[in-house]
């Protein structure tokens, strides 16, 4: 009964993605950050080995971003970008993003985050084919283990079953299907089974994040792209995690030599300092909506905070930091160092089943008898934050400003935890 009272008497905040009885009473209240570290209200200083939720690329509490937000708010906090109205910061950021885009001559749709971006991209894919008069092309394909946010479309195309369960239907938005994570032949069979005439788009992360840090099998993404082109299926690349430097390139699309129709982005565009996301749209998709003709259709996207002026100003300052501090070349160095450290860990610790590195993203998969949640909790006690992912995997994705010694210390702490687990 006392446990029930503790739960019922907990804080008003309903924590995200939480089995509440398991976390209430032991939550970490974060009240400060500096560089690669965060601080809790009970006095702990923790190395942020996940960069928050994959976003704190330039580290925490960078003064330049605070100054950008302050200056913009004193001038104009925001104004919407509906119809004839637009604010100067949204215009400037869109031009800069278009210049960085792997898609040539794109238009830029701005919104409030990654889940928003996925919803817009999937709707735009379907709207494209309806405008083309190909009304049966409505199905959206995605991959097993995929995570694309938790709005209605992101929930519907999730390749993590637990994110789709419990809503009274297999898919909140109808006409979705999932394909095997690395199997191009299985994708071809799915296209045949559903019929290319019924498929609007395929959505894929270039490197799966929440699904366990799964890099693509060699040649997989290129073959997927070829199948999409062959069957007239739009390719949507979800770069919410990988965009803005996480792979050592500005976009993983560049790293893997892809030419998608749509790219979604968020997190790294502001390093999490303000909520912002969006979609880069290829000319074949946007041009019909720009024709000087009374019959030109309207794509009904937009939200109150789309193109939020302060968020856009913060994004511009963040992009400046990435360039000025040469953080993308640093990511390449960190990738090589992490790869070496994790290979050593795999060789030394029998409790490690597999390690994976792609860019400054790492996954350490543990033996089934060692619960990854317990390992993550033990790491916190040593002063390091990791995160349990699908497949009994520990997440490694620190800020780009991480030092070699900090990265070595993080992997050493993982080894210490696993050594203790093996001795249990």
Q: Where is the domain boundary, 273, 302, 324?
A: 324
Structure confidence by residue, pLDDT tens digits, 379-400: 999 999 999 999 999 999 999 9
Structure confidence by residue, pLDDT tens digits, 90-128: 999 999 999 999 999 999 999 999 999 999 999 999 999
- Cβ(138)–Cβ(129) under 8 Å? yes
Does one domain contain both 163 and 278?
yes
Does one domain contain both 316 and 335?
no
Does one domain contain both 46 and 96?
no
Does one domain contain both 377 and 413?
yes
pTM: 0.96
pLDDT of residue 2 exceeding 70, the answer is no
Tell me the pLDDT band of 376, cut-offs 50, 70 and 90: very high
pLDDT of residue 348 exceeding 60, the answer is yes
Does one domain contain both 248 and 157?
yes
Percent of the chain's residues with pLDDT above 90: 96
CATH number of the domain at 408, please: 3.90.1150.10
Does one domain contain both 333 and 418?
yes
Q: What is the pLDDT of residue 8?
A: 72
Tell me the pLDDT band of 6, cut-offs 50, 70 and 90: low
Does one domain contain both 304 and 386?
no
Does one domain contain both 153 and 17?
no
pLDDT of residue 129 exceeding 80, the answer is yes
pLDDT of residue 1 exceeding 60, the answer is no
What sign does the CA torsion over 313, 318, 319, 320 have?
positive
Does one domain contain both 241 and 309?
yes
Give the mean pLDDT of 61-66. Answer: 98
Could you list the beta-strand ranges (E) of 234-351: 234-238, 262-265, 277-281
Range of the domain at 394: 2-58+326-422
How many domains is the chain built from?
2
Q: Where is the domain boundary, 305, 324, 343?
A: 324
Whole-angstrom distance, CA of residue 213 vs CA of residue 215: 6
Whole-angstrom distance, CA of residue 320 vs CA of residue 318: 5
Give the mean pLDDT of 401-418. Answer: 98
Give the mean pLDDT of 82-86. Answer: 97
What sign does the CA torsion over 96, 100, 106, 111 have?
negative
Q: Where is the domain boundary, 324, 354, 385?
A: 324
Does one domain contain both 102 and 23?
no
Whole-angstrom distance, CA of residue 162 vs CA of residue 146: 12
Does one domain contain both 121 and 205?
yes
Tell me the pLDDT band of 9, cut-offs 50, 70 and 90: confident
In whole numbers, what is the pLDDT of the chain averaged over residues?
96
CATH number of the domain at 128, please: 3.40.640.10
Give the mean pLDDT of 191-217. Answer: 97
Instruction: Please enumerate, as own/partner, the contacts of 73-80 that have beta carbons within 8 Å and a separation of 24 or more.
Output: 73/310, 76/309, 77/309, 77/310, 78/305, 78/307, 78/308, 78/309, 78/310, 78/311, 79/309, 80/304, 80/306, 80/307
Does one domain contain both 233 and 89?
yes
Q: What is the pLDDT of residue 10?
A: 82
């Amino acid at each position: 009964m006392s446990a029930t009272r503790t739960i019922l008497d907990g804080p008003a905040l309903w924590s995200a993605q939480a089995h509440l009885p398991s976390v209430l009473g032991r939550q970490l209240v974060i009240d400060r950050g500096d560089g690669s570290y965060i601080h809790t209200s009970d006095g702990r200083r923790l190395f942020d080995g996940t960069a928050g939720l994959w976003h704190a690329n330039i580290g925490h509490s960078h003064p330049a971003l605070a100054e950008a937000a302050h200056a913009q708010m004193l001038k104009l906090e925001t104004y919407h970008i509906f119809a004839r109205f637009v604010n100067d910061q949204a215009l400037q950021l869109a031009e800069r993003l278009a210049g960085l885009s792997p898609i040539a001559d794109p238009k830029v749709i701005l919104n409030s985050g990654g889940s928003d971006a996925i919803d817009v991209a999937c709707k735009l894919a379907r709207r494209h084919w309806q405008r083309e008069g190909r009304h049966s092309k409505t199905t959206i394909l995605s991959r097993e283990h995929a995570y694309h946010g938790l709005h209605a479309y992101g929930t519907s195309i999730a390749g993590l079953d637990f994110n789709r369960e419990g809503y009274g239907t297999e898919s909140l938005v109808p006409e979705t299907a999932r394909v095997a994570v690395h199997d191009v032949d299985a994708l071809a069979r799915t296209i045949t089974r559903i019929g290319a005439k019924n498929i609007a788009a395929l959505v894929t992360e270039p490197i799966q994040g929440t699904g366990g840090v799964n890099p693509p099998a060699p040649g997989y993404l290129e073959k997927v792209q070829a199948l999409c082109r062959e069957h007239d299926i739009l390719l949507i690349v979800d770069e919410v995690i990988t965009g803005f430097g996480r792979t050592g390139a500005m976009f993983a699309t560049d790293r893997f030599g892809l030419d998608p129709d749509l790219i979604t982005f968020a997190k790294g565009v502001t390093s999490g300092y303000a909520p912002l996301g969006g979609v880069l749209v290829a000319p074949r998709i946007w041009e019909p909506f720009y024709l000087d003709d009374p019959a030109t259709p309207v794509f009904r996207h937009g939200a109150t905070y789309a193109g939020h002026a302060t968020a856009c100003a913060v994004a511009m300052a963040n992009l400046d930091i990435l360039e000025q501090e040469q953080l993308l070349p640093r990511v390449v160095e960190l990738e090589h160092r992490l790869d070496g450290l994790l290979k050593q860990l795999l060789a030394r610790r029998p409790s490690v089943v597999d390690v994976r590195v792609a860019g400054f993203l790492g996954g350490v998969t543990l033996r089934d008898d060692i619960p990854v949640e317990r390992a993550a909790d033990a790491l916190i006690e040593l002063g390091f934050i990791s995160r349990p992912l699908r497949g009994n995997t520990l997440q490694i994705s620190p800020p780009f400003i991480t030092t070699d010694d900090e990265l070595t210390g993080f992997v050493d702490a993982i080894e210490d935890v696993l050594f203790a687990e093996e001795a249990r």
